[in-house]
Chains A and B, each alone.
Chain A
Amino acid sequence: MSWEYVKGNTAFHRLDPRVKFLFWATMMFLMVAFFDPIWLGCVLLILVAICMWTGIPGRAITYLLKVSAWAWGGYGLFTAFSLYSTAVHGLEELHVLWLVHLPWGAVFPLTWEGTLMGIRACIMVWGFLLSLRILTMLTPLRDLSVGFAKMKMPPEFAITIGLAISYVPVLIDENEKIQQALQSRGWEFGGANLWKRAKALLSQMLIPAIMGSFRRARFLAVALESRGFSYNIAGRTYVRELKLKKNDYIALGLIAAAWVFGLYSGQWFSKISSVTFTINLLKKAGIISTL
């Protein structure tokens, strides 16, 4: 039930759901635009500050990071060790941090650039997760789907998204039940071997989960039909009304500024926020020297 709305009355809580959605999109954009861990770290700090301000409990965040550790950890490590990621960004100059001696005699260089890109990858995934979390925990879901409808999306689409979002906690809950049911039949979910774990997860948990979803989808279709969803979609009324207030306009201004700044300093134009930013700082501090 960790997706339930966090109550509160901060200026952020009071924002229009559409503005909150744009805020989320902006954060995602900045995460993609910036390539330097320090720059991204600043974006992350903003997100953390919002969590603290709005009262999202710290344990919700740590839980999120814990369960997604395989994703951000794996992605971070892969990026750090992959020469591809540095090559693709056209970093001509690489600085070796550590030479890894592989058992069969080969030597593999771990570079400063790769490491920083790895850290960046981790921060980026955290940022994705955290900003989505902020969106879902600080926006009553009903507002979000009405928000979509008011953004001139077709009602079918808006309601489908609303439905999908409101089903997320249900699916999480269902998965927990399935996991418990399997556990009670002697199935070990844990275990040190990551590969075995992933395989077990795929083969055993997916079947009940997918079958459950199919059945649910069918029932859902029946439920929607029998409640008049297709009666006259164009003539549908909405009980909840949305109006932009002063706060929303201020927030929209900030969001626009963030887009301009992100576009300018990001990877497409000036590239100030590329990984060389930190490398240069490290050089100035004398921590790394040119080969």
Chain B
Amino acid sequence: MEEFDIIIDNLTYSYPKSKKPALSGINVKLKKGETLLITGPAGAGKTTLCYCINGLVPHFFGGEMEGRVVVKGMDTKRSTMSTLTYVAGTLFQDPETQLVCPTVYDEFCFGAENYGIPPEEIRSRVDQVLEWVRLSPMKDRNPHFLSGGEQQACALGAVVTVRPEIYVLDEPTSNLDPYGSIQLFKLILELARSEKKTMVIIEHKLEELATLVDYMIVMDEGKIVSEGKPREVFEKESEHMDDIGIKPPQSALLASKLRREGLKIDNIPLTLNEAIETYSKLLTKKKSQLEAVSSESRKVYEGLRPLIEVRDLWFTYPALGGGEGTKALRGIDLVIYPGEFIALIGQNGSGKTTLVKHFNGLIYSTKGEVLVDGISTRNWKKSLLAQKVGYVFQNPDHQLCCKTVLEELKFGPRNVKIPEEEIENRVGEVIKRLDLVDMVNEDPFSLSKGERQRVAVGSVLTMKPDLLVVDEPTTGQDFKRSKYLMEVMSELNKEGKTVVIITHDMNIAAEYVERVTVLKDGKVLLDGSTRNVFTQTEALSKTYLKPPQVTLISERLGLPPALKVKEMLDMLKLQM
């Protein structure tokens, strides 16, 4: 009989005080050196499954566990947690919460020190791993002040120095831009191959991982709904995945939609090259005949009075510990007209958040200025500016401060002394729009992250701002929730509100916004209509961003650029 590294045998688990099981009837077997991808919408039980492998369930969380989990021959119920984590190193979703040391170097040593590995051995491992995750230059910095990507690399490095046999990685790239994600996936899989380590990876980013892993599991509501080799899973499930809120590679989704239209496609393509090969066979008509499909009427804004005018904006974060400070913005010029829907994109650290914080006077420029309605933000009264420009922070927890959701919604307008009657009207409207009826009397902090974010958006909407800025509305959310929030934003925009979102998700940007501004090193690299920006593949690659897969497919096939799967589908349907 072949040895399995992980055996999960008919596992059912409920958290304490919870009536519904978080996992039910799970069976998984993984051999040494195999890689398993687990995906599914939020609340599907993916993270809980991770906890079961490294012993946090049941040892830390308690609850009721039935069935058996065996990790490297140890039954998790009968082994101590620290023995299990020695064998199965875990990287959690949010890297910041698992960094415990004052410097990167110490972070790397921490686990190994705990397991009593001799200092000499630790030193040599740490030097090696620092090089491997490219953090050597930052080894003396406080990990909490690294960029999201660097933090994730640091957290991974800290696990790697312990040299566990099994790696359990829960959304290891949640804070990373597309380039950073690919780099990290490469590192992880290099480790799996070269050292024959067993990997369990939870991810939403299927496009990048589809062809790299051995097996794949799709979970929903605590159960496994589909499993097998990725190709088999996508072959059967691409459309169903889209329905339950998982984002299959666009090439695969397109293929399954075409199949439903009656087209014969033998194998579902997963990569760009496979897609080109598959779809080029379908092309019969000329490009000119297809132009109409993807042409769009762009609204004309020039001539209108700008809502925001950014003039030669420079900003430097001061460094009190000596040194020069960080130049976050280096001469930005940007005009935003009323009614626009814009996505700000760029790598981690490119200055996106710093830029938008200038819009409502949270910070002021080192040089240059920002005008709102023609008046410099320095001359705006803060409470008035807060009614003009609403800003939803990336982390809703920084924004929520009241005892109930209702209070939360009223907080802003009360601050700026809106009459109570008017507040009631606004709150009623927002509750309806964001579907908050069931939770008005709840404590905002008792809600799920997706719900908290909705409340945070609502609490800004009751201020009735002309411009709504939302910082990374989709980070850490599954596809379904991201889509919901984007639909709300889109609706608001149609009603005339100006909306600016910051995002790493190119597919979301392509799907919803009409204008994209790309930042790189604190400067504007590209700015224009979404279609225009996403077809400048070369310029985009300078900032390591990649347009959506369908855009690349249409480009490589010599078709007019498609931004959405639906557009591509329409073009290909014309060929039938």
Contact = CB atoms under 8 A, between A and B. Distances in A.
Interface residues of B, number: 72
Interface in B350-391: 357, 360, 362, 382-383, 386-387, 389-391
Given A6-B322, A137-B321, A185-B411, A204 B116 contact: no
Contact of B111 (A63, A162, A204, A227): A227
Interface of A is mostly: helix
A16 B142 CA distance: 20
Contacts, number: 203
A145 B140 CA distance: 15
Interface string A213-253: 00110011111111111111001111111000000000000
| Most B C-beta atoms less than 10 A away, residue of A165, A185, A212, A221 | A185
B393 interface: yes
A207 B407 CA distance: 13
B123 A239 contact: yes
Interface string A1-30: 111111100000000000000000000000
B158 interface: yes
A74 interface: no
Contacts of A240: 106
B360 A184 contact: yes
Contact of A169 (B92, B106, B142): B142
Given A227-B98, A231-B83, A181 B393 contact: yes
Contacts of A208: 397-401
A60 B56 contact: no
Most-contacted residue by chain A among B357, B360, B362 (CB, 10 A): B362
A160 to B, nearest CB: 10
B114 A225 contact: no
A228 B111 contact: yes
Contacts of A239: 106, 109, 113, 119, 122-123, 126
Given A141-B102, A185-B386, A225-B56, A204 B401 contact: yes
A174 interface: yes
A228 B86 contact: yes
A263 interface: no
B90 interface: yes
A187 B397 CA distance: 16
B113 A215 contact: no
A165 B144 CA distance: 12
Contact of A162 (B101, B362, B463): B101
Contacts of B54: 226
B550 to A, nearest CB: 36
A231 to B, nearest CB: 4
A225 B57 CA distance: 12
**Closest 6 pairs (CB-CB, A-B):** A141-B102, A4-B321, A219-B97, A186-B415, A166-B102, A231-B82
Interface of A: 1-7, 55, 57, 59-60, 63, 137, 140-142, 145, 162-163, 165-167, 169-170, 173-174, 177-178, 180-188, 204-205, 207-208, 211-212, 215-216, 219-232, 235-241
5 contacts: A167-B144, A220-B97, A223-B100, A226-B98, A237-B117
